[in-house]
Amino acid sequence: MSTPETPKVGVAAVLGGVQPASTALSQFSLRDRVALVTGAGRGIGLEMAFALAEAGAIVYCLDLPPSADADFLKVQKYITSMPSDRPGQPSKSRMEYVNGDVTDQKAMWKLAQDIAEKEGRLDVCIANAGILAGEECLDYDGEEFKKLIDVNVNGVLFTAQAAGRQMARLGIPGSIIMTASMSGSIANQGQHWVAYNTSKSAVLQMARSMACELGEKKIRVNSISPGYIYTQMTKNFLDHKSELMKKWSAQNPLGRLGRPDELRGVTVWLASDASTFCTGSDIIVDGGHRAW
């Protein structure tokens, strides 16, 4: 039986006559940490990457387009101009755009290795890249089904493998976060998303399984399940379907869609030392959709 180490933080530190090593807020700091985020060129991925960088991390932002767009460059510039939390020293936080395909296993492994060798570490990985497509289940084209599964399931696995291999090699107690969805636990009313829902259900079980395997290496694996979030991906069809926007909004107690920035807090929490006993968990951020 293994007992937890006496902490140098919190009440136990004070009662033991020890100056707490960190405050509650400082436990969320990602200063000097290195992260890899996929699907980070826009939307939820960009928001997550930005949050990690704001918390102090060096963030490698992978996406499929060969170069970053104007929105990414604006966010990247903001991070470089951010004041340092170290008086007299420049901020080390930065966001690096990397072109890559999450469905290429060997390329993902090499990318993570290159990052780890360049920076000397890899602490955080967010396997976020994904696509959404719909078709009636009896007519769903087999090749289209495979394409979605390749990105949403294989791509998540290859990303997590790539980062986990480097964390294990370097002995880093890292954090791997997978973007799942409430659609992995429910069927979305009125939506023909058999492939998407199947893929997100697979991600939930993948996170649990990898958490159990990697626990002995002190690597944590968790998933985040967003509800309906107004992103560039959903905007493309919601802006032309006002009734669907109203319907989705009415399906949660808060009566609205979520925003990408509302995933920032849980992302930094899972990536940081504030969540060191959290692994194999799915964090639901759906405005209460599943409460009904």
Reply yes or no on whether 200 is catalytic.
yes
Counts of helices then strands in the chain (DSSP H, E): 10, 7
Reply yes or no on whether 196 is catalytic.
yes
Q: Which of 200, 223, 272, 275 is catalytic?
A: 200
Question: What is the Cβ-side half-sphere exposure of residue 36, based on CA atoms within 13 angstroms?
Answer: 34
Q: Which of 29, 175, 181, 225 is catalytic?
A: 181
Distance CA 186, CA 167 (A): 33
Distance CA 196, CA 200 (A): 6
Reply yes or no on whether 217 is catalytic.
no
Q: Which of 60, 196, 228, 230 is catalytic?
A: 196
Angle of helix 155-170 relative to helix 194-214, nearest 10 degrees, comes to: 10
Distance CA 278, CA 267 (A): 13
Q: Identify the three-state secondary structure at position 59.
A: strand
Name the burial class of residue 66, with classes exposed (0-12), middle (13-18) and buried (19+) by CB atoms within 10 angstroms of its CB: exposed
Residues annotated catalytic, as ranges: 181, 196, 200
